[in-house]
A = this chain, B = another copy of it.
Amino acid sequence: MPAKPMTYWNYIKVEELLALQSGLEGEDTMRNDEVMFVVVHQIDELWFKLALRELVLIRDLFAQRHVAEQSLSSAVRGLRRTVLLFGQVASHFALMETLTTRDYLAFRDKLYPASGFQSAQLREIEIIMGLQSADRIPLGHETYLRALQNPDGSPSPASRRVQARLEDLPSLRVALDEWLYRTPIDGSLPDDIGDEEHVRGVAEGFIEAHAREIDRNRQRAMSEALTPEDRERLDARYLREAESTRAFLLAEDLPEDTSADERSRRARIRAALLFIESYRELPLLAWPREVIDSIVALEQAFVIFRQRHARMVERVIGRRTGTGGSAGVEYLDQTALKYRVFRDVWAVRTLLLRQSALPELQNPSYYGFVAADDDTNA
């Protein structure tokens, strides 16, 4: 027996969907402003759901013991889609700003003490990306987990979602680090004999090249400095820059009690990031490089969303205390500045060199195509 023919309204569940905007008191008594307020938050949640699904899939991909090269382009596609999703959410703020302060106040009281901070999925996105609880800025007097529970402290659908996500390991950041750790660096793999020395050699080569660039800039700046104080200041700055580059690439900036193994692992991850970004023309590195670039775009899109959120709140309600009790605008702006998940990825950008200043590779052919030596040109 054939299934009933499909209809748009069954597939999209239109009627069920359009019955969910009744807020507290029923849609008939709600003004358009409030219905819009409800709908925009619902749409945010729908975008968040998609973003979460993409992030989980990408995390699963990198969490494998072996990541097939062929799958990287699909990871990149997923990351780019997530960037677009964050962009969609950010674009709602202009719409929300059609709500004037006075008109928002007409129904704001009813919401107390509910708050956008109670969006479980937004917290889940932070968690799956890899934001650590210790890095969170406290939200008023209570923890973010408490804010997600029912007012009486019992578990809520929101707190249950977040709790489950906290246990859904690894985060994308950790999975990506694992994958980065296994990058062949100038032809050497972690299990290869002598890999640690080889990688150290690559890092030292880069550190030297970097120092040469810095010295070049220093000399130029010096020739134009007008006073001895200027020269001293410049000298000190460039010295600091060279030292911090070395410390970062050799992982000497980690806490003192870091084990030698962990330090060496971290150094390899950072060397891999630098290697991928610096030699991106090698065929085997082209997609890893797109992965890194998409990760930067992902975190950037999230920060842009946070800052745009702060601007909307500032415009619609000013600097008053949020319904959830937070400091509102300032809290949002601070999370935008302080929350960074992929710190090493960002840090590496500060070290990159122009192409002509890069050390030469020993094993570029390792990164080629089977068909590359033929005179083919697909």
Contact = CB atoms under 8 A, between A and B. Distances in A.
A353 B106 CA distance: 8
A134 interface: no
B91 A8 contact: no
A36 B53 CA distance: 10
Given A285-B378, A304-B308, A318-B349, 15 more contacts: A5-B224, A7-B151, A18-B49, A21-B49, A32-B53, A32-B54, A36-B81, A39-B46, A67-B377, A84-B94, A112-B221, A241-B320, A276-B378, A296-B315, A367-B378
A352 B318 CA distance: 9
Interface in A295-336: 296-297, 300, 303-304, 307-308, 311, 314-321, 333, 336
Given A12-B45, A53-B32, A356-B106, A372 B69 contact: yes
A120 B14 contact: yes
Given A105-B353, A369-B369, A32 B9 contact: no
Contacts of A47: 39, 43
A287 interface: yes
A150 interface: yes
Contact of A156 (B9, B21, B105, B366): B9
A241 to B, nearest CB: 8
Interface stretch (A164-172, A181-189, A195-203, A253-261): A181-189
- Determine the main DSSP class of A at the interface with B: helix
Interface residues of A, number: 151
Nearest to A64: B377
A100 B146 CA distance: 42
Contact of A114 (B6, B308, B319): B6
A117 B109 CA distance: 40
A115 B57 CA distance: 28
A285 to B, nearest CB: 7
Contact of A70 (B5, B57, B286): B286
Contacts of A367: 370-371, 378
